[in-house]
Amino acid sequence: MRVVILGSGRGSNAEAILLAQQAGKLGSAQVVQIFADKPDAGILTLGPRFGVPATFLDPAPFKTKLDGAGEEHYIAAITACQPDLIVLAGFMRVIKPRFLEAFAGKVINLHPSLLPSFPGLDGIGQAFRRGVKYTGCTVHEVTAEIDGGPILDQAAVRIEESDTLESLAAKVHAAEHALLPAVIARLSEKSR
């Protein structure tokens, strides 16, 4: 199963996927390409470290969505990778229907809350401020509804009285680093 990862940030989840692959724990999945929409994204440093091509792809002209010329650019570059699965690992842009039609049923997203609670930006901060006792992370199929596609799996994290936003974020990220590679491994076994 050929996997393309898209990200915008530090890339700790892409790193968890690549570490799982190195440890033989990613089933038949293989990361073939990483793309970032920011030239200075930390996720790009994983390329040389893990021997995977990692490239900045210009998303212009929009700031928060992948549309127009940027969308075309991404569709062409990702199609050339012949992907079976596209993983949004901290890719902070709204995905539009044309992209989803080009890769129908192949796009999954990681979100830092127990959806359908706290969709959108800052899922961890939203849960912390609301005072819920459990939050966590979700891996779901991407549809045109933001953070609304079918849920593939979730992991729960308890929010203790002593938790700060920072300690909660660390717990949610640790849960993500276990959940996302496990979902990819499972999908790869299903697709065999």
Task: Please count the other Cβ atoms lying within 10 Å of the Cβ belonging to residue 127.
Answer: 24
Query: Could you tell me the smallest distance in angstroms from the CB atom of residue 67 to ligand GAR?
Result: 17
Query: What is the CB-side half-sphere exposure of residue 151 using CA atoms within 13 A?
Result: 13
Query: Could you tell me the smallest distance in angstroms from the CB atom of residue 192 to ligand GAR?
Result: 27
Q: Give dist(CA 26, CA 31) in Å, integer.
A: 10
**Is the separation of the CB atoms in 34 and 44 below 8 Å?**
yes
Residue closer to ligand GAR (CB basis): 18 or 185: 18
Check 111, 140, 173, 177 and give the catalytic one. Answer: 111
Query: Could you tell me the smallest distance in angstroms from the CB atom of residue 11 to ligand GAR?
Result: 5
Cβ-closest position to ligand GAR:
90
170 Cα distance to chain centroid: 17
Residue closer to ligand GAR (CB basis): 7 or 27: 7
**Is the separation of the CB atoms in 116 and 148 below 8 Å?**
yes
Can 177 be counted among the known catalytic residues? no
Residue closer to ligand GAR (CB basis): 34 or 80: 34
Residue closer to ligand GAR (CB basis): 16 or 185: 16
Rg (CA), the chain: 16
Q: Which of these, 56, 41, 31, lies nearest to 11 by C-alpha position?
A: 41
Amino acid at site 10: R
Query: Could you tell me the smallest distance in angstroms from the CB atom of residue 65 to ligand GAR?
Result: 13
Residues at the interface with ligand GAR (CB under 6 A):
7, 9-13, 43, 89-90, 110-112, 123, 173, 176
DSSP symbol at 38:
S
Catalytic residue list: 111
